[in-house]
Amino acid sequence: SYELTQPPSVSVSPGQTARITCSGDALPKQYAYWYQQKPGQAPVLVIYKDSERPSGIPERFSGSSSGTTVTLTISGVQAEDEADYYCQSADSSGTSPVVFGGGTKLTVL
Amino acid sequence: QVQLQESGPGLVKPSQTLSLTCTVSGGSISSGDYYWSWIRQPPGKGLEWIGYIYYSGSTYYNPSLKSRVTISVDTSKNQFSLKLSSVTAADTAVYYCARGILDTAMVPYFDYWGQGTLVTVSS
């Protein structure tokens, strides 16, 4: 089955830039989506179609794509950004139209 | 503002059927632009998509769960429902309902989520 690979954890100090990657063979052909999930809460969409930001999401959140890797970048990280982040995409065959990465725990030091 | 709310039993016995309902408010489930989905998250683990339904009743399920899953819709009540049969402890999870939007490759992404409901499978 298709897999999206994320690092288990990323740590940054407040004000620095956090980069969370997601790798998958089909990412050159499929859009990627990013969700933020804080403890005890439902996920929140923070990036759609690789790099688009939904209304209400701070400008410090951005997304990019290069080959088989997509990246969520959080510039000027704030304490409130500490959360789990999940990428989502699909395989290229249509067999698995929704696949989530394993998630990355962002720790703000 | 669209809101989704899950409801159903929090405890299900092994081998029985898990049943949950999602009530949508602030928008019509029949609008035609959205695909109404179920997603689950075992305690301390990641997200797993279960499936989605269109208001017309057409469905698409995760191949790994397809044999046990049924998703249905009741447009008159603005609700959609999940049934998962033959449950085991591995089905213990927080179950979320969510509104899906299809991209150009017919892949859904999820812009509104319910708060989630924990379902425990135990005797």
| Res. B37 pLDDT band, cuts 50 70 90 | very high
CB contact under 8 A, A102 and B46: yes
Q: State the sign of the Cα–Cα–Cα–Cα dihedral B13, B47, B21, B69.
A: negative
Nearest CA in chain B to A54: B111
List CB contacts (< 8 A) between A101 and chain B.
46
List CB contacts (< 8 A) between A43 and chain B.
47, 96, 110, 113
User: Which pLDDT does position A77 carry in this prediction?
Assistant: 98
List CB contacts (< 8 A) between A1 and chain B.
64
User: Which pLDDT does position A52 carry in this prediction?
Assistant: 97
- Residue-wise pLDDT tens digits, B57-94: 999 999 999 999 999 999 999 999 999 999 999 999 99
Q: Collect the ranges in chain A with pLDDT lower than 70.
A: none
CB contact under 8 A, A42 and B46: no
B49-56 contacts at long range (C-beta below 8 A, 24 or more positions apart): B49/A98, B49/A99, B49/A100, B50/B82, B50/B84, B50/B95, B52/B100, B52/B108, B53/B80, B55/B29, B55/B30, B55/B31
Where helices occur in chain B by DSSP H, the ranges are none
User: Which pLDDT does position B109 carry in this prediction?
Assistant: 96
CB contact under 8 A, B109 and A88: yes
The mean pLDDT of B42-71, rounded to a whole number, is 96
Give the whole-angstrom CA distance, residue A75 versus residue B107: 28
The percent of residues above 90 in pLDDT, for chain B, comes to: 93
Say if residue B32's pLDDT is above 90.
no
Q: Burial of A67 by CB count in 10 Å (0-12 exposed, 13-18 middle, 19+ buried)?
A: exposed
H helix and E strand count, chain A: 0, 9
User: Which pLDDT does position A51 carry in this prediction?
Assistant: 97
